[in-house]
Amino acid sequence: MSDVVIRPAIASDLSLILSLNDAEVRWTSPLNHQQLVYLDQQACYHRVICEEPDVPVGFLLVLPAGADYASDNYRWFSTQLTDFWYIDRIVINSNQAGKGLGVQLYQDLCQAAQHEGIVQLACEYNLHPPNRPSARFHQRFGFEEMAQQTHNGKMVSLQVLDLNSR
């Protein structure tokens, strides 16, 4: 595995982040520049992972409890959890799949959350249409299903990771 750098996302990364998101939009949700800027401003964790030279090949965007976010999934977690971080989206360039870049981002996220005293991470992945790679990834990482719901025509599994159990 080549050397990678995880760093905060910066303004000059936004167009590449949008391109990465667009390439995997069937698993995430559409995002335009204005929405991305807004989410970036709300984020408690927004980092990119880069291979040398400093070119992002993936990103992870996370929102804290209490954010002003109109996502049905985020709102559901807000009614169930008190002090959590919500993984809104993680995208790794499909050409980089299998290199462990998502694991490295999640490990960095867990350290950052624990440093801030956060004990729960929340996310969702598609059950229909099925996103089996995401299901396997989150199960290996220790996420557990809290519920299921339909959102934007997709059935999702609402997942939580208790960082105290890691």
CATH architecture assigned to 4-165: 3-Layer(aba) Sandwich (3.40)
From residue 27, alpha-carbon distances to 19, 21, 72, 156 in Å are 14, 9, 16, 10
Sheet holding 154-162, edge to edge: 4-8, 45-51, 55-64, 84-92, 120-128, 154-162, 144-151
Q: Provide the b/e sequence for 77-99 (b: ≥16 CB within 10 Å).
A: bbeebeebbbbbbbbbbeebeeb
Domain edges within the chain: 4-165
- How confident is the prediction along the chain (166 residues), in pLDDT tens digits per residue? 458 999 999 999 999 999 999 998 878 888 999 999 999 999 999 999 998 778 899 999 999 999 999 999 999 999 999 999 999 999 999 888 889 999 999 999 999 999 999 999 999 999 998 999 999 999 999 999 999 999 778 899 999 999 998 7
Q: What is the pTM of this model?
A: 0.94
